[in-house]
């Protein structure tokens, strides 16, 4: 039809659309027809009968005439999708250069190659400068979440002056409330006391496409202000904040309490039946690093130089323990020797385990069974480790995965103080073998209950690189949990 077009923007109605080739027809005021492509639609999926707005047109490259360039549901002018993409790319390059300049001013050449020890060991004034700059830039958008995440995980205190500018609902911004002063969270206590709706967590939509980093953040985020307040109060650790949370759970309906408990568990806190709050991981953390054996004739001073190079404390001048040993105990399912993932002296990892335990602790698991068939895999500690099962395996059980037995000698390791949080995506592999702190989850927080008493077991340690093989597939990680009362170790595996 040659009916002239009215002034743009104008209302239009989709009268046809072929999803196969992504092309359809708009009918606008006066009866004129305009062809459009699905890529012209901004913020919606085209469907026959839908009323929308024709914002801008362009010459039709096929058959002459005109074609829709931009169609939306608001009637407000906005650039077409290609122009928006070009602008985002230009802006991303501009912000990337700004970030690079900032990193260089802090002495960081490459953020990806930065160790988890680099930021906490940086001068306090430099970390404060990074935090101040990031907060100024955050007002313009979330362009620097990777640097913010790394800094807030290892040094949340540098963001305490900016808590009023951060969103307690959003991860990782909520981490800035770790050890925050009470006057910063006092308004959140009042919010929780006066709340008329329960704390809610973000529910990931089935089929939603998202980056791994964004999905991981959403899994631990709150979806309302009350949920954000509860996260911030728990992370502050202040006794009055914990009292407010406990008081809320005592008066909350069961279903609301379950969702709030799930939100807190993602953040590393367990809620007892009486509403008391307890951390499911310790604040103290220690990286496990190999102790190289000196060559003959070079013993004197070599171990000390290795320890100094790794930044170890004076009390770590002897090996803290060993990794990757085996013993005489066999798996109760597949009957291969259990692997001793770790044997470590408790004095080398202070403030991780409760006082009064034995001088050392051992972590045992079965490399064949832990990844698929029995995940979690449980071992009862005693004079000899004993695998235990909720449902005993059949006599002819065959594991889904069969590894070669560990043939290498146990590797001596030393413990080096480390940040309590190490993000799996940003860490170097050697930084992931650690005792204490928070788990570096690959797929999201996973509760491991004790097989004997049913209580959720606190996290103890994690391991990324067993000899000769990964834990079940690409980028695997073994996590170990320990029930002090029952002396039960539970191990579980996640992989990408």
User: Domain containing 32 — which CATH number?
Assistant: 2.40.50.140
Same domain, residue pair 105 and 244: yes
Cis geometry, peptide bond prior to residue 378 (ω within 30 degrees of 0): no
Q: Are 227 and 263 in contact (CB under 8 A)?
A: yes
Instruction: Note whether residue 378 is domain-resident.
Output: yes
Same domain, residue pair 334 and 221: no
Q: Are 126 and 134 in contact (CB under 8 A)?
A: no
Asked which of 249, 279, 309 is the last residue of a domain, the reply is 279
Asked which of 250, 279, 308 is the last residue of a domain, the reply is 279
Mean pLDDT of 142-160: 87
DSSP letter assigned to residue 299:
-
Instruction: Note whether residue 86 is domain-resident.
Output: no
Same domain, residue pair 300 and 258: no
What is the number of structural domains in the chain?
3
Mean pLDDT of 409-433: 89
| Cα(379)–Cα(395) distance, integer angstroms | 19
State the average pLDDT for the chain. Answer: 87
Q: Are 479 and 491 in contact (CB under 8 A)?
A: yes
Domain that holds residue 455: 285-494
What is the tens place of the pLDDT at every residue in 189-212? 999 999 999 999 988 777 667 777
Same domain, residue pair 247 and 164: yes
Angstrom CA distances, 166 to 10, 159, 160, 199, 203, stand at 40, 9, 10, 18, 21
Task: List the structure tokens of 165.
Answer: 């500018």
Instruction: Note whether residue 2 is domain-resident.
Output: no
The model's confidence at residue 358, banded by pLDDT at 50, 70 and 90, is confident
Percent of the chain residues topping a pLDDT of 90 = 54
Stated pTM of the model: 0.76
Output the pLDDT for position 303: 42
Same domain, residue pair 245 and 160: yes
| Cα(8)–Cα(51) distance, integer angstroms | 15
Q: Are 180 and 160 in contact (CB under 8 A)?
A: yes
19, pLDDT greater than 70: yes
What is the tens place of the pLDDT at every residue in 307-352? 444 444 434 457 899 998 888 899 999 999 999 999 999 999 999 9
| Cα(147)–Cα(109) distance, integer angstroms | 13
What is the tens place of the pLDDT at every residue in 271-310? 887 788 888 999 899 999 998 765 555 444 444 444 444 4
| Cα(343)–Cα(3) distance, integer angstroms | 83
Same domain, residue pair 186 and 315: no
Cβ neighbours of residue 7 under 8 Å, at least 6 residues apart?
none
Same domain, residue pair 208 and 296: no
| Cα(437)–Cα(424) distance, integer angstroms | 13
Instruction: Note whether residue 107 is domain-resident.
Output: yes
Same domain, residue pair 480 and 383: yes
**Cα–chain center distance at 133:** 24
Instruction: Note whether residue 83 is domain-resident.
Output: no
Instruction: Note whether residue 87 is domain-resident.
Output: no
Asked which of 279, 299, 326 is the last residue of a domain, the reply is 279
Instruction: Note whether residue 481 is domain-resident.
Output: yes
End-to-end CA distance of the chain: 55
Same domain, residue pair 146 and 68: no
What is the tens place of the pLDDT at every residue in 360-418? 999 999 988 998 899 999 999 998 999 999 988 998 999 988 876 666 678 899 999 99
Exposed/middle/buried for residue 436 (C-beta within 10 Å: 0-12, 13-18, 19+):
buried
Output the pLDDT for position 354: 75
- Measured from the Cβ of residue 85, the count of other Cβ atoms closer than 10 Å reads 11
DSSP letter assigned to residue 41:
B
Name beta bridge partners: 479. 462, 492
Task: List the structure tokens of 476.
Answer: 């695997």
Q: Are 438 and 313 in contact (CB under 8 A)?
A: no
């Amino acid at each position: 039809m040659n009916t002239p077009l009215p002034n743009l923007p104008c209302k239009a109605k989709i009268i046809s659309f072929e999803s196969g080739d992504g092309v359809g027809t708009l009918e606008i005021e006066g009866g004129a027809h305009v062809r459009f492509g699905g890529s012209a639609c901004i913020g919606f999926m085209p469907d026959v009968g839908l009323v929308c707005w024709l914002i801008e047109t362009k010459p039709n490259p096929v058959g002459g005439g005109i074609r829709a360039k931009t169609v939306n549901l608001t009637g407000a002018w906005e650039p077409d999708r290609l122009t928006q993409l070009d602008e985002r790319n230009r802006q991303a390059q501009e912000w990337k250069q700004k970030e690079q300049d900032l990193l260089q001013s802090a002495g960081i050449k490459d953020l990806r190659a930065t160790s988890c020890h680099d930021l906490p060991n940086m001068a306090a004034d430099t970390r404060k400068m990074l935090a101040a700059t990031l907060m100024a830039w955050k007002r313009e958008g979330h362009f620097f979440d990777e640097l913010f995440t790394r800094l807030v995980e290892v040094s949340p205190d540098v963001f305490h002056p900016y808590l009023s500018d951060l969103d307690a609902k959003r991860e990782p911004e909520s981490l800035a409330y770790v050890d925050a002063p009470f006057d910063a969270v006092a308004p959140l206590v009042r919010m929780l006391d006066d709340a008329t709706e329960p704390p809610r967590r973000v529910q990931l939509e089935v089929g939603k496409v998202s980056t791994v980093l964004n999905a991981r953040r959403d899994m631990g985020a709150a979806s309302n202000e009350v949920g954000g307040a509860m996260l911030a109060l728990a992370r502050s650790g202040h006794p009055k904040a914990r009292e407010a949370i406990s008081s809320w759970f005592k008066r909350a309906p069961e279903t609301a309490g379950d969702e709030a408990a799930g939100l807190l568990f993602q953040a590393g806190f367990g809620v007892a039946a009486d509403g008391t709050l307890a951390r499911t991981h310790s604040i103290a953390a220690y990286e496990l690093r190999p102790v190289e054996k000196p060559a003959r004739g070079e013993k004197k001073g070599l171990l000390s130089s290795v320890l100094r190079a790794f930044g170890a404390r004076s009390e770590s001048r002897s090996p803290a323990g060993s990794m990757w040993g085996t013993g005489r105990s066999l798996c109760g399912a597949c009957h291969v020797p259990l692997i001793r993932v770790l044997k470590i002296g408790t004095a080398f990892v202070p403030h991780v385990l409760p006082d009064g335990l034995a001088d050392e602790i051992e972590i045992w698991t079965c490399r064949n069974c832990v990844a698929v068939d029995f995940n979690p895999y449980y071992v009862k500690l005693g004079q000899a480790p004993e695998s235990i099962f909720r449902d005993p395996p059949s006599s002819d059980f065959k594991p889904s995965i069969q590894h070669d037995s560990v043939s290498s000698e146990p590797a001596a390791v030393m413990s080096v103080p480390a940040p309590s949080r190490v993000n799996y995506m940003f860490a170097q592999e050697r930084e992931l073998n650690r005792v204490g702190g928070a788990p570096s989850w690959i797929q999201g927080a996973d509760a491991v209950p004790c097989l004997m008493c049913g209580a959720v077991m606190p996290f103890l340690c994690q391991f990324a690189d067993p000899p000769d093989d990964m834990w079940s597939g690409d980028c695997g990680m073994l996590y170990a949990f320990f029930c002090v009362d029952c002396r039960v170790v539970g191990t579980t595996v996640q992989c990408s």
